[in-house]
């Protein structure tokens, strides 16, 4: 199988190479694509080195799958060109997520919707993926009516330059500012650009993508997304209001039996999810499970995951694995 990786030298692309190395995919040829300044550099997969090339060469290569992680504008222009050549595109940007003709896929939840005619498949936003992994089984059991979300998102979600800004500030050194304020010893209630309704794009992704993935446009959702001085891993405080009464032990049991979810919920022993422990892991970690005593049928949850792994690279590779395992590419 030929696989093109667009954005191979970026932060997510670098993580993608690690995940591909660990995956079940048998890749006969990798076609890594980078920016003009990256062309000619080499990346490694399964002990073999591949030279970074340009987008048009990758289109002409006849790749079976192309995984995009190079930003929305690149995806909007080039994903259709790959699709026209018969390549199945898995796009990690926001370009196609809310397109009504494109599937927005978290494999554990809705990969069974994919068909051979889906030539452009959208990978959800990092903060959305980890949240719906924990919410989907509970929604099926109890029905979710309302979500109140607060995120605590690492600077790795912004990219290499954001990590450089934080590390330079910690050393008292000058750095190119990615954020409008210092991030070291600070929290910014500002992830992505602000929109006309006063919410940021990141906050509205949590609203719109969650409804699409869970196939329920009636869930009431409000979100506040905060950037915190952590170099990897997103955390989320989620208040869930159900349509039906729930049993807390049943909630723990449901989540414990959900593939890809690990329950860490023993506060008496100081056991709860933390980004420090989630880094480099593919699971979504859930803890601090407790009733909201101010509302009926309401639950508080704390959800943590590595945003570069399950929030991006791992989810995309899992989509590719599903396409191959289910023969969707050749159906």
- Active centre residues (catalytic): 126, 234
Beta pairing, strands 120-122 & 88-91: parallel
Sign of CA dihedral 190, 194, 196, 202: negative
Token pair, residue 312, equals 């991006």
- CA neighbours closer than 13 Å in the CB half-sphere of residue 42: 6
Task: Give the separation between CA 52 and CA 219, rounded to whole angstroms.
Answer: 44
Q: Which residue has the tokens 């210092």?
A: 182
Strand partners, 111: none
Residue 188: partners with Cβ closer than 8 Å, 6 or more residues away: 179, 180, 181, 226, 227
Token pair, residue 255, equals 């989540």
Instruction: Please give the torsion angle defined by the CA atoms of residues 65, 69, 71 and 72, in that order, rounded to the nearest 10 degrees.
Output: 40
Q: Which residue has the tokens 């959702």?
A: 221
Task: Give the separation between CA 128 and CA 305, rounded to whole angstroms.
Answer: 11
């Amino acid at each position: 199988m030929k696989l093109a990786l667009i954005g191979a030298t970026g932060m997510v692309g670098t993580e993608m190479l690690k995940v591909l190395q660990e995956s079940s995919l048998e890749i006969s040829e990798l076609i890594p694509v980078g920016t003009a300044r990256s062309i000619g550099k080499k990346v490694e997969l399964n002990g073999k080195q591949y030279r970074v090339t340009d987008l048009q060469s990758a289109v002409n290569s006849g790749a079976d799958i192309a995984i995009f992680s190079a930003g929305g504008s690149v995806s909007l222009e080039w994903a259709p060109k790959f699709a026209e050549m018969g390549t199945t595109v898995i796009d990690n940007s926001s370009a196609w997520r809310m397109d009504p003709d494109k599937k927005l896929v978290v494999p554990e939840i809705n990969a069974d919707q994919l068909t051979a005619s889906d030539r452009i498949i959208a990978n959800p936003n990092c903060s959305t993926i980890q949240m719906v992994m924990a919410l989907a089984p509970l929604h099926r059991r109890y029905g979710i009516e309302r979500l109140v979300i607060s995120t605590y998102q690492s600077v790795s979600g912004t990219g290499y330059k954001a990590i450089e800004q934080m590390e330079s500030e910690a050393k008292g050194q000058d750095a190119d500012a990615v954020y409008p304020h210092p991030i070291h010893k600070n929290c910014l209630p500002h992830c992505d650009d602000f929109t006309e309704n006063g919410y940021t794009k990141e906050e509205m992704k949590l609203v719109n993508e969650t409804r699409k993935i869970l196939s329920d446009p009636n869930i009431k959702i409000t979100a506040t997304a905060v950037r915190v001085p952590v170099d990897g891993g997103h955390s989320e405080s989620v208040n869930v209001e159900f349509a039906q009464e729930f049993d807390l032990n049943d909630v723990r049991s449901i989540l414990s039996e959900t593939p890809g979810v690990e329950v860490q919920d023993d506060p008496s022993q100081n056991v709860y999810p933390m980004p420090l422990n989630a880094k480099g892991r593919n699971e979504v970690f859930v803890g601090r499970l407790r009733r909201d005593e101010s509302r009926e049928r309401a639950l508080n949850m704390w959800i943590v995951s590595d945003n570069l792994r399950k929030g991006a690279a791992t989810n995309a590779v899992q989509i590719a694995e599903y396409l191959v395992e289910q023969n969707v590419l050749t159906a």
